[in-house]
Structure 1
Amino acid sequence: QEFLRCGSSCPVGCDNPSPRSCTPCRAGCYCKNGFVFNNSSDWRNSECIPHEECTKTTTSTLAPQTTSTMRTTTAPPPLPTARPQQQQAAAVVTAPVQPRTTTASAPRLNAARDPAPSARLVADQDLMMSAGLSMCPSSTSDVSGRPCNFNTDCPSDQLCCRSLVLPLAISPQRCVCPDANAAWSACGSLCPDYCGSSSTPVCSSTCNAGCACLPGFIRTRNDIKAPCVRRDQCPGVVPEPQPVFASANNDPFLSHQIAVAHLYSVSTPVRGRISFSKLSPTTLRVHGLLENLPPGPHAIVVHQFGDISMNCTKLGPMLLPRSSTSGLLGDVHGRQDGSELLRLLEWTAEDVVGRSVAVYAESTMEWSLRQRELQPFACGTIGVTKFKRK
């Protein structure tokens, strides 16, 4: 279980697979994603069990009800005889929600009774693609989402998808995260762990509601929207130079340090050096060493302009390159023996050369929520380093 300040007063449970929207919310201990209350009518004293364990006790009672209580606003999936391995699966199989039924779409209700589920799913996917709808995951562990009719009924990170799991068949449409390895969390992290990070990021305790990676999974890059993968499935990063790039000898920048920024300030003792190395045509490795930083987290930001005059007041806005990774590189923590920064970015060399990078007194979260422009501790222009052309 996990404590929520504002949870549902009628949560999902084995005895309540289709809870209605209840107000007001209640503070208390709720089941984590993947678990439901065994007795939701007394949820404060009920234990949480894996949702698939409800299948064994509720399948026989729920299946006959589906013909009379099934919503007619969508084309509900048929209820094929579940195989033993499917009954024991922990993940919920989902399908995308289609628009409300009209006269023109009435044949789809008859198609839903077709005993050939594979043909029906293919037809569903074709219609979904033609309508430009987002893809739902084929399976998910995000089983605590609210009932829905459309994507607009769900939080911004979730989609409205149909469940093919028998205990949820009475109300098959629920909000789920589009990433099969993520689940909705009312108190997620603003700086989750990701592939290539030197250590687990230390972040503010402020909650960030949204889709968070399941336990054992991390983001593929420094981006809260990046896909979730198992830690042992992260793309390998080996010390430079990398043999995989040996065939690109015509690029003098490849696998070498291409740019560096020397950070300094006339008003603070903070000094530092941040280098950029090219691991692939679209991947940069950022390594920085900073001195004299006060204890605590400090945001590292790449800015649009390289003008560091007027004591770092003309850096411009944060850099937003063509990739999905912003110029906000996360926090570096002040230590007496120096502070180190290590990041992997999906940027090109052209994205960074001529820009500026700055370190701030504020943390990444504080800098992001600022109401006015803040003065950095130190800054520097990112310039091209020497290289030997072959």
Structure 2
Amino acid sequence: MNLKFGLEKIPKPTIILILILTIFFLKGAFLTALFPLFTGQDEARHYSSLQYRAEPKEKNWGKTDRPLGSITSLNIADYNFSAEMIGVGESSDYNVFRHQLYNTVNFSDGYYGKNEKEINSQKWKPYNYFRQPDIVAGNNLYYSIATFWERLLSGSDMLVRFFFNRIFSTFLGTLGIFLAYLIFKNIELKEKESLILTAIVAFQPKYSMYFANINYDVLLIPLFFLFTLGAVLSLKNGLSWKNGTIMLLSIGLGFFTKPTALILVAPFLGLIFYFFYKKNKNINIKTFLSMIAVLIFIVYLSNYNFFSLLPFKNNLTETFQSLENYFSKSLTLGRFALSSRTYWGSLGWFDGFVEKNFTDFVWTIQTLSAFG
């Protein structure tokens, strides 16, 4: 009775929003457990990167020289990962289902997964024994956070550490959903419309799947949402220090997560100059110069090689030849079909008719919708 009375005090839209966020998180947690090890986007290399950073500073074990493994290799032992990753990967049949669009995982009949007891025994060290570790180099905010969890759970087996970081990704995805709701609310949509759009984002299959794996993009994407929120608030209420700080914070944290965040500088500068020249939305010159100074400082701290972005580092003939080779392999009907399928989320490693063909149903619905 008291619980019912308490819920009646909470506005109905708030309850619906909490329900959307809760369902998304629980669905994501389910997907983290459902997807096989290292099958996320470049997940093996990302986990190798954070595991390498979690190693003791004094590496008092022997190191072996070996060139980095080929990216086309199907054998996890060909990569310069930690002994634990290689051992767990081989024990869990990673070599069987890696890079297969349609394949079937051999699930065990009992409570335990295949070789799970062996994996839980922690017979392999979480150390990399190669002088050329297969990792993403450089400072990275996501790896710093994920490495903290890895060290915190260092006494647990790899399954606990690995899936905890996956669940952390789901938490970041849930945060992104909440930011999307705030964006919809602040572009003057009604409460009902905002909740509907939030639910659509929350149930977009590829979004859910992406936030069920270990990858630094799971931090970058919510930062893009945060920047968008700051931009929307600026257009709605004016460019104040509060709204400017939201955008600058997004750019700064984005720089330290992935250089892709560089593209946020363009809309940020565009907004500043828009407000600077807009007569009915004057901006204080000190605020304007301060934001530019902070932006320059963030770019400086990022220590990013901006010259690498120049398109014509070689001669024009080589540059255009490279572009031609790239587009000839990328812009094909097969690639477009695959992109559409993976956008909605491929569950091809299940051996079932619906899982293999459900995007065909989606295409049918989209075609009918196009004709209205």
In the superposition, the TM-score normalised over structure 2's length comes to 0.24
In the superposition, the TM-score normalised over structure 1's length comes to 0.23
Indicate the structure with greater helix content.
Answer: 2
Higher RCO (C-alpha 8 Å, min separation 6): 2
Structure possessing the higher radius of gyration over alpha carbons: 1
